[in-house]
Every structure is written in structure tokens, then in C-alpha cells.
Amino acid sequence: MAMNEGDNYTQFHSHNQAYAGMEMYIGQYRVESWMLTQAIITCVVAFLVWHVLKYSRIKGPIVWPVFGTTPQFLWNLPRMHDWTTDMLVKFDGTYTSIAPKCTCLTAVATCRPENLEYVLKTNFANYPKGRSFTYPSHDLLGQGIFNTDHELWKMQRKTASLEFSTRTLRDLMVKSNRSSVGQRLLPVLADVAKKRIPIDFQDLFLRYTFDNICMVGFGVDPGCLAPGLPTVPFAQAFDLATEGTLTRMVVPEIFWRITRALGWGMEGRLAKAISTIDKFAADVITERRRELNMLKTLNATEYPCDLLSRFMQTTDHEGNPYTDRFLRDVTTNFILAGRDTTAIALSWFFYLITQNPAVEEKILNEIREILQSRRQSGGVGEPDDDDAGRTTQEASLSFEELKQLHYLHAALSESMRLYPSVPIDNKDVTADDFLPDGTFVRKGTRLMYSIYSMGRMESIWGKDCLEYKPERWLRNGVFTPESPFKYAVFNAGPRLCLGKELAYLQMKSVASAILRNYHVKLVPEHKVEYKLSLTLFMKYGLHVTLHPRVTVAY
């Protein structure tokens, strides 16, 4: 058979490869393999030199070629907040982390108060929540206060701030809180103590705050804290929806968008949970509209004063009534903002109390003093109209009495310093900028501030920063707040938490009611550690036993 030119070439080429193994062709050029090896080595070395030169000046954890800081991040994932703290201590309060684009991990992390003041107040407009937060949260939070920026946020903030400063809403908060403690929480605890069984305080507090915030937000009691601690579909749907939304924030966007389109896995469950929430909200809104219309036709003088009813009775900046979708967003945002945060804060507080008996004793002394002065002034506590036969004196302290608990206020603030409910927060960076400490932040990346780390900085709190010391908050026995840029547990600047006062009210009411009645002990061997989430949940809950006090503090 005749051979053509191509066959000759192939034969020659394969012959050379087989016998010499030293050369190959790239297009028409003959390249010897040692040349190729040398070229590859040169490229790799050049890349490494370029990489080192580019990243060596950046203050932060080692940036590996291709993977950036992702390997350290993944390695330290279970102790992420402590690792972040170690890095922030090492790099003097601010570091830059570089990661591949698809991970969304490229960020400047800081815990310096002057940087926080700049980001959260001075140059607020440059650091919105941004798309990286609002887009994954949109299905659950819509255009509510928690999930918007700029004008839309401003308008809601204005209306909500007005509502939160009204006496009516405060009275509703006090009333629903007292009935939750007296009628729901204490009976459940009495039952548990009688049966001498352990109870998960984290689950209990989540139930309590859910009921409470729904009463304030919707004027509806979902009954999570009813005897037997039932499963409530709306609460369950809310849990699932929160978890699904958080998952979206840590997986690449393309992944969750595909699974959402296919209705698979967590996205499938999220869609169902959100439709349960939407239906619940739609039913409550329809019913409330009907009720308000009826009251109007009857020329009633008293109207329901939960947040939903208040928003329904006002109009937007153009004088139009709010749409059902907007009302749904307002209320779900408040539930999200106020439920987990307070329950988590209470859980860590009780954990610290089980470890610090001296603090527990001081809180009890303070409660005893308040009750003593109540007795001396002849007060018997205000009767609680929905407290089936009990008086507030037995069930919980009054609003004025709670305000006098300075040591308890300090003990709660101190536990949130060490275990803030929101351990880290992020902002998008709209334009290139420099932070006050000179760190450059690039447009399109993120700025992360670690509230957890701030509470553990010697430079902020002194050498005893890791100790649980409520006394650091007291001047002559009076609680003295710190700058919110140093203690950013409730955020700071224009987006300062709107529910701070309500949260303290709830926490002081629950903590004083429980501590007056029970000595709380951690179940031996129960592991307490945080879970990786946007809020500082305890991974295994807080399992405790309750021991009724022999000399009850009345």
C-alpha cells in the first residue's frame, strides 16, 4: 500500500516519540520535552513570584494560589468565630481575606471601633446590606425593613421608629410579655421541675420569644409555649425558612438557583415553608382588615395596637394604604429580627449563670431588695387581668421594677458581650474606600465586622476581656452603657436595633422570673458550643435541670 505524506509524518513523529521520547509538536513547531518542562517551570515560578508580590503586602491570612484563604477558612470552620478573633488579634483589628469569586469570601474583616463608626455611620451610604444579603433573603423577607436599603429602608425605618416609640405598643409589649411569663413559661417550668426531668432552655426560649413577638407583630398567639410544648406549623415553617435562607448565603448562588428551579432538597422545603408563612400572613391580614372595618363602622374608640394593625391604620408617604404584600413583609421581618436574637441571648446568659454562682447570688439579692421595698411601700403588685387568679407579684415583676434591676441588666449585657446573638455582620462595598485605620476596601467586595471578636479584644475591654464580669458595666451600682461602636451587639448608627428596649424587657422579665423560682443546673456532660449560623445558636441546645428554691425570693 502506498504511503502518503501525512502517514510519513505520523510515522516519523511516533517513531521519534517512541524511541527518543524527547520531543513533540505544538502546531508546526517541534518542541523538545525539556524545553516544555522548562517553560512550565518558568511559568509556575513567574506566577508564584507575581502572586507573592501581589499578596504579600496584604494584611491577612496566607493567600494560597488559586484557593486564596479558603483552605484555612474551611479548616477552621467549626471554630470560625474564634479563628476570626485570632486573626483579628494577630493583624491588629483588621485583615483582608482573598478567595475565589464563586465563594463570596473575599472581604475585609474588622473589629476596630473607629472602623465600625465609619462604616455604620460616617460613610453609611457606601456600605448597604446590598445584594449579597437581600437577594438570597428576598423570598422570606421581601421588602421588609431588614432586607432593604436606601429610600425603601428609610421610609420603613421612619414609620417603624414612630411605632416603637408609642406608649400603646410599649404597653402591648409589657402586657403580652407578662402574660407569656406568668401563664405560659412558669407553668411549663413547674411541670418540668415536678417531674425532675431536664429541659432544653434554648428550645423553651425560642418558643417563648416566638409567641411573644407574634403577639406584638400580628396580635396572634401561636401557642408554642402551650402545655405539652406542641409543634406549631407556622413556627416550624419559620424555622425551616430561616434555615433555608441562611443556607443560600453560604452556598454558591448558581447552586441554589438551580435547585430552586428544580424544587430539590432544601430549596423544595424552603418553597413549601414560605407558602405556609404567606398563607398564615394572608389569613391574619384578611381577618384583621375585616375586624378594623367593623370597628370603624361602629365608631369604636379602641383599636388593636399590634404592629400589623398599626401599619394598617397608617398610609405610605404618598397617602396610599399599605398593600397586603408589604404588610406581610413588615411583620415577618419583625419576627425574624426579634425572635432568635432574644432567645439566643437568654440561652447564653443562663449558661454563664450556671458557671458563675456568685453572679447568680448578686442577681437574687437585687431582686430581693426590689421586692422588699415593694413590701415596705405597701405595694402588692399590679393585678394582671389575664393572669388567671395570680397576681403580677407572683408571676413577674412590673415594668417599673424591671427597670430598677441594674445588676441584672449588666449581667445580660455582659453575657451578650461574650456571646452576641448576631456574631458577625456584613455590608457590601459600593465604591472603593479607605477605612480610618488605612485599610483599602475594594468596590464590589464585602466588609465584615465581627461582633463576637469585638467582645474579646484586650484593646477594647482590657486584660480581663475574657472574664464574665457584670461589674464592668456599673458605676456606683447604676448600669452605664458603652458606645455602640465598641459594643455593637444591637448594631449601631442609623440601623441600630429597633427592638433593643423590648429585648431587655423580655430578657429581664424571663431571667428574674426563673431565677427567683429555680436554681438552674447544667446537665452533666452536656456539650455547649456554638453552631455555624448567622445567629449564635447553641449546637446541642442548653439542657438544664431545675431545682425549686427553698427560700423563694418574694
Residues near ligand HEM, by CB under 6 A: 145-146, 157, 213, 334, 337-338, 341-342, 345, 421-422, 425, 489-491, 495, 497-499, 502-503
Cβ partners under 8 Å of residue 229, min gap 6: 188, 203, 204, 207
d(CA 278, CA 331): 11
Buried b or exposed e, range 16-54, using 16+ CB within 10 angstroms:
eeeeeeeeeeeeeeeeeeeeeeeeeeeeeeeeeeeeeee
Q: What is the smallest separation between the CB atom of 95 and ligand HEM, expressed in angstroms?
A: 21
Nearer to ligand HEM, 393 or 421 (CB): 421
Closest-by-Cβ residue to ligand HEM is 499
Nearer to ligand HEM, 95 or 349 (CB): 349
Q: What is the smallest separation between the CB atom of 490 and ligand HEM, expressed in angstroms?
A: 5
Q: What is the smallest separation between the CB atom of 338 and ligand HEM, expressed in angstroms?
A: 3
| C-alpha closest to that of 515 among 507, 524, 505 | 507
d(CA 527, CA 523): 9
* CB 324 within 8 Å of CB 288: no
Cβ partners under 8 Å of residue 236, min gap 6: 273
* CB 77 within 8 Å of CB 424: no
Decide: helix, strand or coil at residue 456: coil
DSSP 85-144: HHHHHHTTTEEEE---GGGT--EEEE--HHHHHIIIIITGGG----HHHHHHHHHHHTTS
Angle of CA points 98, 99, 102, to nearest 5°: 145
Q: What is the smallest separation between the CB atom of 55 and ligand HEM, expressed in angstroms?
A: 30
d(CA 268, CA 253): 16
497 is in an annotated binding site: yes
Nearer to ligand HEM, 61 or 484 (CB): 484
Nearer to ligand HEM, 337 or 454 (CB): 337
Angle of CA points 426, 531, 425, to nearest 5°: 10
Nearer to ligand HEM, 352 or 422 (CB): 422
Nearer to ligand HEM, 145 or 514 (CB): 145
Nearer to ligand HEM, 270 or 502 (CB): 502
Q: What is the smallest separation between the CB atom of 525 and ligand HEM, expressed in angstroms?
A: 28
Nearer to ligand HEM, 61 or 219 (CB): 219
d(CA 475, CA 466): 20
Is the CA virtual torsion 151, 152, 153, 157 positive or negative? positive
d(CA 40, CA 50): 15
How far apart, in Å, are the Cα atoms of 258 and each of 43, 139, 264? 37, 15, 9
Nearer to ligand HEM, 312 or 502 (CB): 502
* CB 381 within 8 Å of CB 391: yes
Cβ partners under 8 Å of residue 396, min gap 6: 177, 178, 181, 182, 509, 512, 513
Nearer to ligand HEM, 172 or 364 (CB): 172
Q: What is the smallest separation between the CB atom of 534 and ligand HEM, expressed in angstroms?
A: 9
Between helix 406-418 and helix 357-376 the angle, nearest 10°, is 150
* Amino acid (one-letter) located at 21: G
- Cell digits of residue 345: 441571648
- Binding site for heme, by residue number, is 497
Q: Give binding residues as ranges.
A: 497
